[in-house]
Amino acid sequence: MGKQQSIQQEKRRKAIMSIVLAIICVIYMLPIVTILINTFKNAGAVKSNLFALPNAETFVGFENYVTGMTAGSFPFWKAVLFNVIITVLSAFLILLFCSMAAWYVARVNSIFCKIFYYLCVFSMVVPFQMVQFTLSKTADSLSLNTPWTIPIVYLGFGAGLAIFMFVGFAKSIPIEIEEAASIDGCGPLKTYFMVVFPMLKPTMISVGILEIMWVWNDYLLPSLVLDLAEYRNIPMHIQLTTTGSYGQMNLGAMMAMIFLSIVPIIIFYLLCQKYIIKGVAAGAVKG
C-alpha cells in the first residue's frame, strides 16, 4: 500500500515537473515569437505596442518580408548570399587543410610540429581584440578583403581549435592501418584521402559545426576587413541598418530581417541537432 502510494507520488511529481518545464519552454520561445508576430504588422503598430497581435488595420501580410529582403542600396538578400559564400568556403578550407596538417603533426611529431601545435593551443586563449587592428591591416595589405579571400583569414585564425581537436583524434588512429596502406603502395596523399580521411569523419562533423557557427555569426572580423559598400554579411548588415548610419529602415521590415536571419539557423539546428549537440559538447570539453 505504502509503496504504491510513493509510486503515485513520484508520478505526480514528474507530471508537475513536466508542466513547469513546458511553461518555461514557452516563455523561452516568447522573444522569437514576438518578433515573428511583429513581422506581420506595420511600422506604426510595431512602435506603439510590440506585444499586440496584428489586427485588420495593422496587418500587412508579407510586405515586410519583401521590403526587408530588397530595400536599400545594399539589399539584405545580398548579405545572405555573401554570408553563405564566406561560411561555406571557410568551413571547407578549415576542414580540409587543418585535418591534413593535424595528421602530419600527429605522425611526424618533429620539434617544428610541436611548436606549431602549442602555438595553435595558445591562439585559442588570445582574445580577438589583441589582433583586431593589426589583423585587419594585414588582411587589407594582402587584399584578403573580399568574400572570396577572407576565408584564408578564417583558416588562419580558426586553425587553433581545429588543429587541436583533429590532432587529439588523429593520435588515436592506429598507425598500423596506415602502414599497411603504404605497404600496399599508397603514397602519403593516397593514404590520407583513402584511409585517414574517412576515419576522421566524426571529428570533421564536430569541428565543422563549431567553425560554421562561428563564421556564420561572426561580426567583428568581416566588419573590419570587408568594404561595406560592396560586401556585407548578415551581422554586418543588421548592425549597419539598425544603427541607422546608412539610412533609416522601416521598423516592420527590420523585424522581418531579424526573423529571416534566425530562420536558416533554426533549420540548420533542427536538421542536424544530434551532431550539433555532440559537437558543441566535444568542443567544450576539449577547449
Partner 1 sequence: MKTTAAAADGAKANPVKKRKKAAYKSGHSSMTKRSLRKWSWLFIGPVFAAFIIGFIWPFAQGIYLSFCGKFSVISQARIKGFENYVKAFSDETFFHSFWFTALFAVVSVILINLLAFTIAYALTQGVKGSNLFRTVFFMPNLIGGIVLGYLWSMIFDGLLDLWTTQNLVDNETYGFWGLIILLLWQQVGYMMIIYIAGLQAVPDDMIEAAKIDGATKTQTLFRVIIPNVMPSITICTFLTLTNSFKLFDQNLALTGGKPGRLTEMLALNISNGYSNMATRGMAQAKAVIFFLFVAALGIAQLVATRRKEVQQ
Q: Which of residues 74-113 bind partner 1 (CB under 8 A)?
A: 93, 97-98, 100-101, 103-105, 107-109, 113
Which one of 53-61, 67-75, 200-208, 231-239 is the stretch in contact with partner 1 (CB under 8 A)? 231-239
| Length reported for the chain | 287
Q: Which of residues 22-81 bind partner 1 (CB under 8 A)?
A: 22, 24-25, 28-29, 31-32, 34-35, 49-51
- Please identify which residue in 82, 154, 164, 231 interacts with partner 1, judged by CB under 8 A: 154
Which one of 55-63, 64-72, 73-81, 255-263 is the stretch in contact with partner 1 (CB under 8 A)? 255-263
- Please identify which residue in 75, 84, 188, 272 interacts with partner 1, judged by CB under 8 A: 188
Rg (CA), the chain: 25
CB of 108 to partner 1, least distance (A): 6
Whether residue 162 contacts residue 98, with contact meaning beta carbons closer than 8 Å, is answered with yes
Q: Does 8 bind partner 1 (CB under 8 A)?
A: no
Taking the C-alpha atoms of residue 274 and residue 284, their distance in angstroms, rounded to an integer, is 16
Between residues 204 and 276, which has the closer beta carbon with respect to partner 1? 276
- Please identify which residue in 62, 177, 230, 271 interacts with partner 1, judged by CB under 8 A: 177
* Cell numbers standing for residue 4: 504504491
Q: Does 148 bind partner 1 (CB under 8 A)?
A: no
Taking the C-alpha atoms of residue 173 and residue 199, their distance in angstroms, rounded to an integer, is 8
CB of 100 to partner 1, least distance (A): 5
CB of 229 to partner 1, least distance (A): 18
* Cell numbers standing for residue 233: 554579411
- Please identify which residue in 73, 176, 229, 244 interacts with partner 1, judged by CB under 8 A: 176
Taking the C-alpha atoms of residue 59 and residue 8, their distance in angstroms, rounded to an integer, is 49
Taking the C-alpha atoms of residue 88 and residue 208, their distance in angstroms, rounded to an integer, is 10
Between residues 37 and 81, which has the closer beta carbon with respect to partner 1? 37
Size of interface with partner 1, in residues (CB under 8 A): 105
Q: Does 243 bind partner 1 (CB under 8 A)?
A: yes
Taking the C-alpha atoms of residue 29 and residue 129, their distance in angstroms, rounded to an integer, is 33
CA angle 257, 277, 170 (to 5 degrees): 120
- Residue with grid cell 518580408, as numbered in its chain: 65
- Please identify which residue in 213, 225, 226, 256 interacts with partner 1, judged by CB under 8 A: 213
Q: Does 18 bind partner 1 (CB under 8 A)?
A: yes
Which one of 1-9, 53-61, 70-78, 172-180 is the stretch in contact with partner 1 (CB under 8 A)? 172-180
Q: Which of 230, 229, 216, 231 minimizes the C-alpha distance to 261? A: 216
Whether residue 232 contacts residue 78, with contact meaning beta carbons closer than 8 Å, is answered with yes
- Please identify which residue in 7, 53, 66, 130 interacts with partner 1, judged by CB under 8 A: 130
CB of 186 to partner 1, least distance (A): 10
Taking the C-alpha atoms of residue 140 and residue 119, their distance in angstroms, rounded to an integer, is 24
Cα separation values, 44 from 50, 63, 129, 267, Å: 10, 14, 39, 30
